[in-house]
Amino acid sequence: MTPYFGILFDMEERELLGKIKRLRQESKKLATSSDDVRKRALILVAEALESNKDYLFAENGKDLENARKNGISDSLYHRLVFSEEKLSSVVKGLHDLALLPDPIGRIREKRELDPDFVLEKAAFPLGVIGMIFEARPDALVQIAGLALRSGNGVILKGGKEAQYSNRALIEVIKKATEKSEISDGWILGIESHADVDALLKAEGDVDLLIPRGSNAFVKHVMNNTSIPVMGHADGICSVYVDKCADISLAVKVVTDSKVQYPAACNAAETILIHEDVYKEFLPLLKASLDSYGVVIHGDDKTREVIEAIPATDADYHTEYLALECAIKVVSSIDEALDHIASHGSHHTDAIITKDKDAESRFFREVDSADVFSNCSTRFADGFRFGLGAEVGISTSKLHARGPVGLDGLTTTKWLLRGNGETVREYSGKDGKSFHHKELI
């Protein structure tokens, strides 16, 4: 029977690859549409979500019922709920996206090479984005909205726990844009693991994959496709409390970084403390973290001052994603920088200090997407950064680094308008020379 199933599987894979090819073709209408058309489409989607809310809530109810049956955790259940509150939040988000300046056609550089011979670097849609994300119906709407605003076709694979919600949302979004000039061919939902495997093979038809999820899953995607992948595996974020820290500010910021939403990738996992201040700081931090029930792993010096589980090196490599953290006392900012370089994941790291030189050194030397001073690591987020929202946070050094909003979903083209210029004229000793005058 195996070969027979093999053939069936291949047929399904070929069918999906065919659908993706058509999506790419049909997305061209979206890619070349005007700002107004894309704005109107976003409003149509927002309106359709509101007018179909009973249907959406009913379908979400099926997912919630299954989730309860399957004994899903409280935090996953909370993310799975598509409530009146979440609906109004995503609807507001779509309206906000429509108000943001058009990312397409934005001129990033403009230079006159010679009189009346002007070069521009302008932004254009990437093409087709493949998004794989957790069971969060509101995330589906945000991602679809960002793709639409930035002119990109999108293939959506949401968490299977949200399958009824995902199907209903994609159906409503598709129908809403059917009424717009871009038609409904720019969005496709996929569901199974086999679909994801097929998506990874759609090189040439998909321009970017953004997988969210476990470290292991993200690595699986990165290792099994030749399509560019943006995202991050680990989120091991540190806060370094410098010797010149304001101690009460440090307690407040470290606590927020750890407890405000511990399941997020930008929550702090490691706290590094300068040895000049650990005796004063640690009892205050412990009192604050205790009130949230945070489990503390600490090195020997930490355990001189507060009660903690002895920390191993593995703790400093662990993304707890829970009310748990690892603390280490360091002898200098150099040791803190070395620790972050060898144990961090280049995501988000913060320094607490009043010393501008320490801050500037931390900013220069920490090789992470987001580097903060005197504020919570939890600010690493597309909405908080003013990017509208985010499709994910990238720790890649190429293209978008940090929260990926509209700009991260665009590419650029160099546009050069000439009047018959040839390179021959600009060559050799007696050739014309460029004057390269910046116009922007």
Q: Which is nearer to a copy of itself, 44 or 272 (CB)?
A: 272
Residues 162-181 that bind a copy of itself (CB under 8 A): none
Rounded CA separation 250/126 (Å): 41
Q: Which residues contact 290 (CB under 8 A, 6 or more apart)?
A: none
Binding segment toward a copy of itself, per CB under 8 A, in 130-138, 225-233, 279-287, 320-328? 225-233
Among 208, 241, 244, 265, contact with a copy of itself (rule: CB under 8 A): 208
Q: Which is nearer to a copy of itself, 1 or 423 (CB)?
A: 423
Q: Which is nearer to a copy of itself, 158 or 388 (CB)?
A: 388
Q: Are strands 237-241 and 268-274 parallel, antiparallel or unpaired?
A: parallel
φ, ψ of residue 120 to 5 degrees: the values are: -125, 150
Structure tokens at 149: 């605003």
Q: Which is nearer to a copy of itself, 68 or 364 (CB)?
A: 364
Binding segment toward a copy of itself, per CB under 8 A, in 42-50, 191-199, 222-230, 315-323? 222-230
Q: Is 118 in the site for a copy of itself (CB under 8 A)?
A: no
Q: How far is the CB of 68 from a copy of itself (least distance, A)?
A: 26
CA angle 431, 437, 440 (to 5 degrees): 150
Q: Which is nearer to a copy of itself, 174 or 378 (CB)?
A: 378
Rounded CA separation 77/416 (Å): 53
Q: Is 372 in the site for a copy of itself (CB under 8 A)?
A: yes
Q: Which residues contact 179 (CB under 8 A, 6 or more apart)?
A: 44
Q: How far is the CB of 196 from a copy of itself (least distance, A)?
A: 20
Q: Which is nearer to a copy of itself, 100 or 175 (CB)?
A: 100
Among 369, 389, 391, 406, contact with a copy of itself (rule: CB under 8 A): 369
405: Cα separation from own chain's centroid: 8
Residues 24-83 that bind a copy of itself (CB under 8 A): 28, 32
Residues 260-319 that bind a copy of itself (CB under 8 A): 260-261
Structure tokens at 383: 């909405």
Q: How far is the CB of 107 from a copy of itself (least distance, A)?
A: 12
Binding segment toward a copy of itself, per CB under 8 A, in 58-66, 72-80, 271-279, 393-401? 393-401
Helix axes of 137-149 and 84-99: crossing angle, nearest 10 degrees: 10
The position carrying tokens 């005197």 is 374
The residues pairing with 279 across neighbouring beta strands, listed in sequence order, are none
Q: Is 436 in the site for a copy of itself (CB under 8 A)?
A: yes
Q: Is 158 in the site for a copy of itself (CB under 8 A)?
A: no
Q: Is 92 in the site for a copy of itself (CB under 8 A)?
A: no
Q: How far is the CB of 178 from a copy of itself (least distance, A)?
A: 23
Q: How far is the CB of 228 from a copy of itself (least distance, A)?
A: 5
Q: Is 409 in the site for a copy of itself (CB under 8 A)?
A: no
Residues 252-271 that bind a copy of itself (CB under 8 A): 252-253, 255-256, 260-261
Q: Which is nearer to a copy of itself, 206 or 282 (CB)?
A: 206
Q: How far is the CB of 374 from a copy of itself (least distance, A)?
A: 4
Asked whether the beta carbons of 93 and 50 are under 8 A apart, the reply is no
Site for a copy of itself (CB under 8 A): how many residues? 71
109: Cα separation from own chain's centroid: 26
Q: Is 416 in the site for a copy of itself (CB under 8 A)?
A: yes
Q: Is 217 in the site for a copy of itself (CB under 8 A)?
A: no
Q: How far is the CB of 372 from a copy of itself (least distance, A)?
A: 4
Among 124, 133, 240, 320, contact with a copy of itself (rule: CB under 8 A): 124
AA identity, residue 376: S
The span from the first CA to the last CA of the chain, in angstroms, equals: 65
The position carrying tokens 């990109």 is 152
Q: Are strands 295-298 and 268-274 parallel, antiparallel or unpaired?
A: unpaired
Q: Which is nearer to a copy of itself, 179 or 247 (CB)?
A: 247
For 117, the 3-state DSSP assignment is strand
Q: Which residues contact 157 (CB under 8 A, 6 or more apart)?
A: 130, 131, 132, 133, 189, 190, 191, 195, 196, 199
Q: Is 397 in the site for a copy of itself (CB under 8 A)?
A: yes
Residues in the chain: 440
Structure tokens at 161: 């726990």
CA angle 135, 195, 191 (to 5 degrees): 30
The residues pairing with 209 across neighbouring beta strands, listed in sequence order, are 130, 229
Binding segment toward a copy of itself, per CB under 8 A, in 12-20, 166-174, 183-191, 380-388? 380-388
Q: Are strands 392-394 and 402-404 parallel, antiparallel or unpaired?
A: antiparallel
Q: Which is nearer to a copy of itself, 68 or 417 (CB)?
A: 417
